[in-house]
Each structure stands twice: as C-alpha cells, then as structure tokens.
Amino acid sequence: GENVGLHLPTLSVQEGDNSIINCAYSNSASDYFIWYKQESGKGPQFIIDIRSNMDKRQGQRVTVLLNKTVKHLSLQIAATQPGDSAVYFCAEKDKAAGNKLTFGGGTRVLVKP
C-alpha cells in the first residue's frame, strides 16, 4: 500500500543548531500532512500540520515545508534544545480514506549538549 517514508533514521544535532527532518510520501492523493513527536514511553504529540494547498507553515520554533512536485515534506526545528530529543513521525491523510493517518517509520533526533 501507500506509505510515508523517511530518509534518515537517526539525526544527531548540536544543541542550539537547527534540525531538518525529511519525509517522502508516495500517495499523490494525500492532501493533509502532520508531524508528530514521540518521546520514550509516550504517545505521539502533535507538532504542526499543513494542507496540500500550502507550501510552508510556521509554528513556534518549527516550520513545515511541503513540496508536492517531488512529494517531499520536511520539518525544521530552530535552535534545537535537549527537550527536542525524540522520534519524529510524518503522517499523511488521503481525503478518500477519511480520518485514517498513514505514518512513516520515524526519525530519531539526538540533541548533543
């Protein structure tokens, strides 16, 4: 079936630097994308979302970019902090699939002090 995948399984970043997490998706019918953060022993936490009629959306310290031409999604975290250490998942929705989220395999972000 269609899957959302990630290029990098693990990302090590120095505290204070910016982080970029990438995600490739294959379902061209997907029209809504979400980034979740999952800390050890916890459920996924909503970070930011973007609809397919947008290219960029900004939140607090986070920015999501969507390139529909190459089916690519990225999450940028500014001034990465130790609390940002977690596994990050991108997920997508296809309008025809209702409220079902399709997740990728995740990227682990390790913040070095």
Partner 1 sequence: DAGVTQSPTHLIKTRGQQVTLRCSPISGHKSVSWYQQVLGQGPQFIFQYYEKEERGRGNFPDRFSARQFPNYSSELNVNALLLGDSALYLCASSSSGIRDTQYFGPGTRLTVL
Instruction: Write out the binding residues for partner 1, residues 29-68 only, by CB under 8 A.
Output: 32, 34, 36, 41-46, 49
* Half-sphere exposure (Cβ direction) of 1: Cα atoms closer than 13 Å: 7
Nearest distance from residue 23's CB to partner 1, in Å? 11
Output 9 or 16, the one with its CB closest to partner 1: 9
Nearest distance, CB of residue 43 and partner 1, angstroms: 4
Tell me: does residue 99 bind partner 1 (CB under 8 A).
yes
